[in-house]
Structure 1
Amino acid sequence: MGAFRGLAAWVVVVGVVFLVQGWLSDGALVFGDDDGLVEYESVETSELMMDAEFGHFLDRKLLQVTGSDRSNTTIRKLVVRGDRRDPTNGFKKYRDGYDVKSSHYWASVVYTGVYGFAIGVAWLLLGALITLLACFRCCCCRRKMPYAPRNRAYFWIPRILAFLLSLFAIGVIITMFIRNRQLHTQAFNIRDSIATSANDATGAVRNVTTTLTTVETLVTKYNIQGLNSGIIGSTVASLNNQSDTITNKVNTNIRTLNRLINGIEIALIVMLSITLFLVAMGMLAALMGWRTVYFLIILLGWLITALTWLLFGLFFAVNNVTTDTCQAFTEYLQAPANTTLDELLPCVDLATAASASNVVKQGVNNIVLQANNALTQIEQVSASLGRPTTLPPVCDPIGAAPDFNFTTCPNGTVLIGGVPQVVAPYVCPSNPVTTACLAQGRFVNSTQEATIKDLSIAGNDLVAIIPTVNALTNCSFVYDTFSKIVNERCPPARKALRNLWISLLLLSIALTLLTVSWIFANHRNKKPHLIHDQEYSPTGTTARVK
């Protein structure tokens, strides 16, 4: 029966914790006045808008950095927050947008957790003051107080209160273990999305450079305009440098994220484990009346309480950083160019990507031109041999300069990769061309056939990498990654962080009340004190001690 009651108590406590967290999560919990922190609207409650260009749902149209101070820069900072104070700039409102490289941004966002920091520091100072007063009283003003008779409620009320608060604190701690793991999972999901995008981008660059190197080997001897070794070589070198830059920058960011994510998880596990042990010992000491142990528990509990308040302020600030980041990703999807997010997941430099695009597309144009010339010559020679024929023109999938738009091949044309099959009926297996071959209308020698095959392979390879080159030019790898993060990763990550800082708030409040109840319980565990040679009896009359 006792075990059943204990289990029921645990279920009730944990259920209450989840209900309180759910209420706080769904409610509009806002700290500060109009000049303080402003809560973002959630995706569920905000008015969704459709961006016509990208077809992407946006939960809010954000402000851009404007003004004369930004007129001479090409970097567009995102998520302007005018409601935060910057303690490093005379507590003026921060106007400089989302920029992870700015110390002013970090100062302003960390300052949003000032409530937790202030309470934590005040709690430490109060504890130090109480400790000094207790030491002063113990050393200088020690005196024995008379014992007055008390009923059992006097002793058991603080113990029962400490017991109930301990159950609530244990429920919150268990919940926080779960929330911590959820946050760890969501953080690694975001990290993996960034790493995957970087790998896709560098893989695309390697695909393009490998293809260009192969094409260079095939067509250099034919001196095709736009595909000489100097142009292709410089383009390949630039792309490789860009790939190395992306890899190094993303790897650095990934290592930082790994240390941060793992550090947060380990620190919380250690803190929660110590807190759980301390609360359990405090609950046992309150019931057993262990005064000596209680002093140490109260001291450690005071320090842990201050730490939880500080962590609450820190995670509240981290929650705002996460919200800023998700909002910045959303705004990036509206205009993905020259933003401060380039430091997190950079694109291939636009000049390098545009150069590669021009090399590829002009190369396709010139190879198609050479292939059409070869087919025209075959038609002319065949006609001169009394075998007039009409061959399908080679399709040029690239539009005219300077746009070079990718187009669909019309009916009646042949793809560049199919030119060898068109020429095959006119190829003579012998070299040089024999009279028998000419009688059959086969006048293309093996050297000419090899040239046509080289051009066909090179042109087909270049056409195949055009979508990849376009993706590098448009930075669609990064765009798709941020789109995935906004739609799939941000909502659960923000929810996990919100649940964690709410849990920290509840734990801080519980430990604050619990520490006070420990003090009262310990104080009322005192034994009767003597006055000279007399003591008070439970009946209220004095009796002399023998």
Structure 2
Amino acid sequence: MLSSKPHHLLHLLPAIFLLLSIFSPSAAYSPPQPFQTIPNSVGEENGLVVLRRSVVEEIAPEPLEVSVNSTPFILAAERTTRKDPLDGYKYYTGGWNISNKHYWASVGFTGAPLFAIALIWFSVFGLTLFLICCYYCCCRRRSYSYSRTAYALSLIFLMLFTIAAMAGCFVLYLGQGKFHGSTSSTLDYVVHQANLTVDNLRNFSNDLAAAKRVGVNQQFMPVDVQTNIDHLQTKLNTSATTLSNRSTDNSKKIHDVLDTVRLFLIVVAAVMLLLAFLGFWFSVLGLQFLVYILVVIGWILVAGTFVLCGVFLLLHNVVADTCIAMDEWVSHPHLHTALDDILPCVDFATANESLYRSKEVTYQLVNVVNQVLSNVSNVNYPPGLQPLYYNQSGPLVPLLCNPFTAPGMADRKCDLGEVDFKNATQVWRGYSCQVSGGICTTQGRITPDLYNQMTAAVKVGFGIYHYTPFLIQLEDCSFVRYTFHTITTRECPGLRRHSQWIYIGLVMVSAAVMLSLIFWVIYARERRHRKYNKKRMLRSSGQETLQEKFP
């Protein structure tokens, strides 16, 4: 009964990893750095996050070929070297791997001594209780030998073990509260990262949709690019919805497990504290029948709490193994590890695909703007060629710098005289003119309507262009590595320490109550014999007095 709920804790960290696994990763790594914020098309800012890898699969041309070290790297190798009962008690050498039954068998074996203690206690003490019952029921002649030393020592030890049980309950209660806070904090951080990802997925999707609608002087992007945008946008929206639903559902389930385990541990602490307290007072007050009832109840509860100790020792080891595994995974980005089965960070082709589409859309948007500037605004058409003519005059409008070159979408440096996304709208404002009936009445080469269309194109292109580092982090695992780095440095010390508090508290409670049970029986026996001897002494003194009066 006492050990059923905590087994759910074994699924806590894997569930957190499943939450993280819905972020898409891949490839290269630089030391974790906090993500910069990027503006979207309407001027808002959101932290850079990662897209799910499947969002951009099968949507771009030939992938980039990059060699990766495929040699398996054992995570937390030194810490996870334990005996494996499924492999003839040989030492397990596979490292941290939650999908490997031998890992779970080896880490579970660390709790074997406590499980053995529970079994031995349940068997031996149960047999002892049975023999005591048989002795008192079948043997008519009873010995009432009494020792003042045994009586005093049993009372002293009973008091000491009762205090130890209270101290253990306090450590257990404090530990479960701290552990609940640490696990909830870790989970909330992961969910926050997931929500941040959802927001950026949707913002990126909105920017792509806006890019498809952008037109400057009735010039739009090519139809094939718009078709690719539709395809990518569908995957983005599907991925955002999936990510949001999975993170919400998993978060709720894990929070429910954490709340249940917390309540369960509080009940365990309260029950064991009440048991120790009542057992002590019933023994002191000589309520022998109630003491024996508590002994039977305590016999079962102590066995259960020892099993619970083993479970939480297992949990503590899994937490410590996982923290070390995450830290080593962050430090070895190019090596194949067990975490790649959950967070496959080796698909450079997908990274190339997603980046290519982002660059292509940016390139085409800049192209649309520059075509209008080159073919309309910066040409002095004669008055008869309307709508190309609207009385353009004055200095030529500088072109918008295209950060990429066709067809490979390689990075490109701006030429002298070009404006970039950051200052284009401000510079172009100086080339605008006032109009009347669609014709400029003042010097300038850009009408207000054309200026607004160009500004909209720049805002959308600026947003999509600044998703380039975002898409790099999408596939190179920077986001997940940064998340893991934060968890290992900020959350793991508390998780390891507080899970150990629970384990220590349970061991203290189990051992103290176990010994208290023994001394309940011993003290009850000594108190009963002391009481019997006092009565016998009173009867003997009474008989002697009568003999003196009536010789």
TM class, shorter-chain normalised?
0.7 to 0.9
**SS of structure 2 residue aligned to 1:157:** helix
* Residue aligning to 1:121: 119
| Cα distance change on mapping 1:408 and 1:502 into 2, 3 Å | farther
**SS of structure 1 residue aligned to 2:514:** helix
* Residue aligning to 1:487: 489
| Cα distance change on mapping 1:181 and 1:527 into 2, 3 Å | same
**SS of structure 1 residue aligned to 2:104:** helix
Alignment counterpart, residue 372 of structure 2, candidates 371, 374, 378: 374
Q: Does 1:321 align with 2:327?
A: no
* Residue aligning to 2:105: 107
Shift of 1:268: 1.1
* Residue aligning to 2:388: none
CA–CA distance in structure 1, aligned partners of residues 299 and 426 of structure 2: 85
* Residue aligning to 2:31: 54
CA–CA distance in structure 1, aligned partners of residues 392 and 188 of structure 2: 66
* Residue aligning to 2:235: 238
| Cα distance change on mapping 1:282 and 1:364 into 2, 3 Å | same
Shift of 1:205: 0.8
Shift of 1:85: 2.8
* Residue aligning to 1:86: 84
CA–CA distance in structure 1, aligned partners of residues 196 and 340 of structure 2: 16
* Residue aligning to 1:131: 129
Q: Does 1:415 align with 2:449?
A: no
CA–CA distance in structure 2, aligned partners of residues 235 and 505 of structure 1: 56
* Residue aligning to 2:401: 395
One-letter code of the match for 1:519? V
Q: Does 1:96 align with 2:73?
A: no
CA contact (8 A) 1:114 1:313 kept: yes
| Cα distance change on mapping 1:364 and 1:132 into 2, 3 Å | same
| Cα distance change on mapping 1:165 and 1:422 into 2, 3 Å | closer
CA contact (8 A) 1:309 1:508 kept: yes
Shift of 1:536: 6.5
CA–CA distance in structure 2, aligned partners of residues 193 and 202 of structure 1: 14
CA–CA distance in structure 2, aligned partners of residues 53 and 360 of structure 1: 22
Write the deviation string for residues 394-439 of structure 1: whole angstroms up to 9, x where unpaired. 223447775755x8867743124655665563657245648xx5xx
* Residue aligning to 1:506: 508
**SS of structure 1 residue aligned to 2:401:** coil
CA–CA distance in structure 1, aligned partners of residues 270 and 213 of structure 2: 64
One-letter code of the match for 2:420? L
Write the deviation string for residues 267-303 of structure 1: whole angstroms up to 9, x where unpaired. 1111111111111111112222221111112222222
Shift of 1:232: 0.3
Q: Does 1:211 align with 2:188?
A: no
CA–CA distance in structure 1, aligned partners of residues 407 and 421 of structure 2: 19
CA–CA distance in structure 2, aligned partners of residues 151 and 483 of structure 1: 63
Q: Does 1:268 align with 2:245?
A: no
Alignment counterpart, residue 289 of structure 2, candidates 289, 292, 295: 292
Q: Does 1:167 align with 2:163?
A: yes
Alignment counterpart, residue 311 of structure 1, candidates 308, 313, 321: 308
Alignment counterpart, residue 517 of structure 2, candidates 515, 518, 523: 515
CA–CA distance in structure 2, aligned partners of residues 454 and 536 of structure 1: 106
CA contact (8 A) 1:186 1:493 kept: yes
CA–CA distance in structure 2, aligned partners of residues 239 and 446 of structure 1: 34
CA–CA distance in structure 1, aligned partners of residues 265 and 392 of structure 2: 89
One-letter code of the match for 2:400? V
Name the % identity: 24
Shift of 1:499: 2.2
| Cα distance change on mapping 1:208 and 1:387 into 2, 3 Å | closer
Count how many residue pairs are aligned between Structure 1 and Structure 2.
469
Write the deviation string for residues 198-245 of structure 1: whole angstroms up to 9, x where unpaired. 111111111111111111122597452587321001111122233334
CA–CA distance in structure 2, aligned partners of residues 55 and 347 of structure 1: 15
* Residue aligning to 2:358: 360
One-letter code of the match for 1:322? V
Shift of 1:377: 3.6
CA contact (8 A) 1:285 1:294 kept: yes
Between 243-252 and 512-521, report the one with greater CA deviation: 243-252
| Cα distance change on mapping 1:257 and 1:470 into 2, 3 Å | same
CA–CA distance in structure 2, aligned partners of residues 217 and 75 of structure 1: 48
Shift of 1:375: 3.3
CA contact (8 A) 2:29 2:478 kept: no
One-letter code of the match for 1:498? Q
Shift of 1:481: 1.7
Write the deviation string for residues 52-85 of structure 1: whole angstroms up to 9, x where unpaired. 94169xxxxxxxxxxxxxx998997743465223
Shift of 1:178: 1.4
Q: Does 1:250 align with 2:247?
A: yes
Q: Does 1:145 align with 2:142?
A: yes
| Cα distance change on mapping 1:386 and 1:452 into 2, 3 Å | closer
Q: TM-score, normalised by structure 2?
A: 0.73
CA–CA distance in structure 1, aligned partners of residues 337 and 244 of structure 2: 19
CA–CA distance in structure 2, aligned partners of residues 102 and 191 of structure 1: 24
Shift of 1:113: 1.0
Shift of 1:90: 4.0
Write the deviation string for residues 329-378 of structure 1: whole angstroms up to 9, x where unpaired. 21231245776547777889876664343222122223323433433345
Q: Does 1:187 align with 2:155?
A: no
One-letter code of the match for 1:288? L
CA contact (8 A) 1:286 1:518 kept: yes
**SS of structure 1 residue aligned to 2:527:** coil
Write the deviation string for residues 466-499 of structure 1: whole angstroms up to 9, x where unpaired. 4443443334332222121111111122111122
CA–CA distance in structure 2, aligned partners of residues 254 and 492 of structure 1: 20
Alignment counterpart, residue 458 of structure 2, candidates 456, 459, 484: 456
CA contact (8 A) 1:242 1:348 kept: no
CA–CA distance in structure 2, aligned partners of residues 529 and 277 of structure 1: 27
CA–CA distance in structure 1, aligned partners of residues 226 and 365 of structure 2: 15
| Cα distance change on mapping 1:236 and 1:311 into 2, 3 Å | same
Write the deviation string for residues 94-127 of structure 1: whole angstroms up to 9, x where unpaired. 3333333443332222221111111111111112
CA–CA distance in structure 2, aligned partners of residues 289 and 361 of structure 1: 85
CA–CA distance in structure 2, aligned partners of residues 512 and 399 of structure 1: 77
CA–CA distance in structure 1, aligned partners of residues 199 and 349 of structure 2: 19
**SS of structure 2 residue aligned to 1:381:** coil
Coordinate RMSD, CA, aligned: 4.1
| Cα distance change on mapping 1:450 and 1:403 into 2, 3 Å | closer
One-letter code of the match for 2:515? L
CA–CA distance in structure 1, aligned partners of residues 348 and 213 of structure 2: 26
CA–CA distance in structure 2, aligned partners of residues 336 and 256 of structure 1: 31
| Cα distance change on mapping 1:242 and 1:79 into 2, 3 Å | farther
One-letter code of the match for 1:204? N
**SS of structure 2 residue aligned to 1:144:** coil
| Cα distance change on mapping 1:409 and 1:486 into 2, 3 Å | farther
CA contact (8 A) 2:306 2:510 kept: yes
CA contact (8 A) 1:357 1:470 kept: yes
If asked which structure has higher relative contact order (CA below 8 Å, sep 6+), I would say 2
Shift of 1:190: 0.8
**SS of structure 2 residue aligned to 1:228:** helix
Write the deviation string for residues 370-391 of structure 1: whole angstroms up to 9, x where unpaired. 4334333457624999967454
* Residue aligning to 1:9: none
Q: TM-score, normalised by structure 1?
A: 0.73
